[in-house]
Amino acid sequence: MLNIFRLGKKQNTSSQLRDKIEEIKKQPVPEHLAIIMDGNGRWAKKRALPRIAGHHEGMKVVRKTTMLANDLGIKALTLYAFSTENWKRPKNEVEYIMKLPEEFLGTFLPELVKNNVQVKMMGYKDQLPVHTLRAIERAMEETKGNTGLVLNFALNYGSRAEILDAVKQVLNDSKNGILKESELDEQVFSSYLMTSNFTDPDLLIRTSGEIRLSNFMLWQLAYSEFWFTDVLWPDFNEDHLLEAIEVFQKRQRRYGGL
């Protein structure tokens, strides 16, 4: 399941890209695409730049990826923007990352509205700075009527905490007579997760050469297809995304069957 790209790959021209998009759309594309956007810091270090420069460059890739996913007809794009463990990073880096939603949505929101993209967020809001949460909630409010791609930011998100919280809610509902033990199955349990309004991801992409999930959607990714690349997130382009989807389209998803 491992696909590695060379950094020197030549990118298609706009007309070639358009032709490739139309060809890919002839076959089923992932309904829900999840991406672990990794490698911003290493991208900056390779260029003797501060780590925050990598995060700023990565923000531009979020825009391009979102618009291409929308063009392809993907219904949901979940981006792992900040984990519950990322608070351990240097204070100045965390503070900068928390300013990115303001900067990104401040410039990109009109384009999202125009292109019928709906913004959502999953994660623990109580720890987020007021200005970060305000920017996200404003985007969610202004795009709530949109019916195209759902751009879902996993911000201050951790899958183990999510699962534990779901278990606690199940136990509480069972104790209060809201849920019978006999009614609990995978589908019901999934309704207690932060992704209750989403289908499970069909495809997970992780950049930067790391081959692990890093506490991301552990329940939801049980039967997802994985695609890994050495390309650092700021270098991830339209060709890489299209290639990942082409690989996905060639796979047979058997869900444990033959």
Beta strands in 70-202 (DSSP E): 76-83, 118-122, 150-157
Query: Where does the pLDDT of residue 13 fall: very low under 50, low under 70, confident under 90, or very high at 90 and above?
Result: confident
Contact 196, 120 (CB under 8 A): no
Residue 8: inside a domain, yes or no?
no
Query: Where does the pLDDT of residue 164 fall: very low under 50, low under 70, confident under 90, or very high at 90 and above?
Result: very high
- Residues above pLDDT 70, as percent of the chain: 93
Q: Is 86 a catalytic site residue? A: yes
Residue 182: inside a domain, yes or no?
no
Cβ neighbours for 80, distance < 8 A, ≥ 6 positions apart: 34, 35, 36, 37, 154, 157, 214, 216
Provide the pLDDT for residue 11. Answer: 58
pLDDT digits (tens, 9 = 90+) for 83-142: 999 999 999 999 999 999 999 999 999 999 999 999 999 999 999 999 999 999 999 999
- Residues above pLDDT 90, as percent of the chain: 90
**Mean pLDDT on 233-255:** 93
Q: Is the pLDDT score of 201 beyond 90? A: yes
Residue 127: inside a domain, yes or no?
yes
The total of structural domains in the chain comes to 1
Query: Where does the pLDDT of residue 257 fall: very low under 50, low under 70, confident under 90, or very high at 90 and above?
Result: low
Residue 108: inside a domain, yes or no?
yes
Query: Where does the pLDDT of residue 252 fall: very low under 50, low under 70, confident under 90, or very high at 90 and above?
Result: confident
**Mean pLDDT on 212-240:** 98
Provide the pLDDT for residue 34. Answer: 98
Q: Taking the mean position of all CA atoms in its chain, how far away is CA 11?
A: 23
Domain limits for position 114: 14-158+199-250
Residue 34: inside a domain, yes or no?
yes
Candidate list 86, 115, 146, 215, residue with the active-site label: 86
pLDDT digits (tens, 9 = 90+) for 25-82: 999 999 999 999 999 999 999 999 999 999 999 999 999 999 999 999 999 999 999 9
Residue 208: inside a domain, yes or no?
yes
pLDDT digits (tens, 9 = 90+) for 238-247: 999 999 999 9
Residue appearing with tokens 């930011």: 153
Contact 162, 193 (CB under 8 A): yes
Which uninterrupted H or E stretch holds 93?
helix 91-114
Residue 177: inside a domain, yes or no?
no
**Mean pLDDT on 176-204:** 97
Provide the pLDDT for residue 258. Answer: 57
CA distance 158 to 196: 15
Name the pTM for this structure. 0.92
CATH code of 140's domain: 3.40.1180.10
Q: Is 38 a catalytic site residue? A: yes
Query: Where does the pLDDT of residue 7 fall: very low under 50, low under 70, confident under 90, or very high at 90 and above?
Result: very low
Residue 48: inside a domain, yes or no?
yes
Neighbours of 200 (CB within 10 A): 17
Contact 181, 107 (CB under 8 A): no
Could you tell me the two tokens for 134? Answer: 């305000």
* Amino acid in the structure at residue 222: A
Candidate list 38, 40, 202, 237, residue with the active-site label: 38
